[in-house]
A and B are shown apart, each in its own frame.
Chain A
Amino acid sequence: MSVREEFDAWATDGRDKGMEERHWHTAKHALARVPVEPGETILDLGCGSGYAGRALRETKDAGRVYGLDGAPEMTRNAASYTDDPNVGYVVGDFDSLPFADDSIDHIWSMESFYYAADPEHTLEEVARVLRPGGTFYCAVNYYEENVHSHEWQEFIAVEMTRWDREQYREAFRDAGLYVAEQDNIPDREITIPAEAEFPTDDWDTRAEMVERYRELGTLLTVGVAP
């Protein structure tokens, strides 16, 4: 199954909104760090429902925000959630970005980068479309140190890239991006039940759930284009 087919199906049965709710706990903290100047152009890679780009428009006065997704149904849903004339959506592939060189000020990506068929090349494309000094905020919950995420691959028919912290930094550098920051952003909002309620449907022990959300959380790697 292709990325397009998988996520068209997600969009059609409304799972785009569920993704948004789950991601927001940590995404909002990462979004707050993106150094957007009023009027700048933002690209949201793998935008899904498009919530992140719209948040940057509303909170940081971004000039134009474009969401790119490989699944046409996702972009259709995203477009239906806003009538902001400065927000637009594009169907496209991470490995062949349809944007001109140096045309974007900042790129955001939450929980989507690892679906790239050729992630090293995607980073080269990111470096190409970013203007000098532009940033790439890449946030993932699926990564090597987060052992609790490893099983996710079993539930999805698209091949996922599982790098560790060092591999992310190395790949950014290999693509010509400077690594400005790397951080784990804990999810302090998800409700973790009392000890007596474990095991739950999803978790054997409370300690595992605490590690997954409160300690590991979202891995954020920030690249800066030269």
Chain B
Amino acid sequence: MKESLLEILCCPLDKHDLELEDAEYDDDGDEIVSGTLVCTECGERYPIEDGIPNLLPPDMREGTPA
């Protein structure tokens, strides 16, 4: 995912902003391939897997490797 996506993404639960943690970028440095999006309000953590953020509410994420 591109960092520009972060401008409009929010926590699916309380709609507050997300903060990017532990980001790893591709070789060109413009694509985030892995990391964690953390809600600045409730602290819920959402994984970025293969460059795709998984923003399913935590109770629907079962079976998905975090």
Do A and B interact with each other, yes or no? yes
Spell out A's residues near B (CB within 8 Å).
Answer: 2, 4-5, 41, 64, 66, 70, 72, 75-76, 79, 85, 88-93, 96-101, 103-104
CB of A114, distance to nearest CB on chain B (Å): 18
A91 CA / B9 CA spacing, docked (Å): 12
Task: Tell yes or no: B13 within 8 A of A by CB.
Answer: yes
Give the interface SS of chain A, mostly helix, strand, loop or mixed: mixed
Which B residue's beta carbon lies closest to that of A97?
B12
Can you offer 28 A-B residue contacts whose CB atoms are under 8 A? A4-B56, A4-B60, A41-B8, A70-B56, A70-B60, A72-B49, A72-B54, A72-B64, A75-B52, A76-B52, A79-B50, A79-B51, A79-B52, A90-B5, A90-B53, A91-B54, A91-B56, A92-B55, A92-B56, A93-B60, A96-B13, A96-B56, A98-B9, A98-B12, A100-B8, A100-B9, A103-B7, A104-B8
Q: CA separation between A2 and B7, bound complex, in Å? A: 30
- Taking a contact as CB atoms under 8 Å apart, the answer to whether A98 and B50 are in contact is no
Which residues from chain B sit less than 8 Å from chain A, CB to CB? 1-2, 4-5, 7-13, 15, 30, 46, 49-57, 60, 63-64
CA distance A88 to B56 in the complex (A): 16
Q: Is the CB of B55 within 8 A of A91?
A: yes
Residue of A2, A41, A91, A93 touching B52 (CB-CB under 8 A): A91
What is the CA–CA distance of A96 and B45 in the complex, to the nearest angstrom?
Answer: 15
CB-defined contacts of B15 to chain A, threshold 8 Å: 100-101
- Bound Cα distance from A96 to B12, whole angstroms: 5
Chain B residues contacting A91 (CB-CB under 8 Å) are: 52-56
In Å, the complex CA distance between A64 and B5 comes to: 9
- Chain A residue at minimal CB-CB distance from B16: A100
Partner of B56 from the list A85, A93, A103 (CB cut-off 8 Å) is A93
Kindly state the separation between the CA atoms of A100 and B55 in the bound complex, as whole angstroms.
13
Shortest Cβ distance from residue B36 to the other chain A in the assembled complex, whole angstroms: 14
C-alpha spacing A59/B29, complex, angstroms: 29
Complex Cα spacing A88 to B55, Å? 14
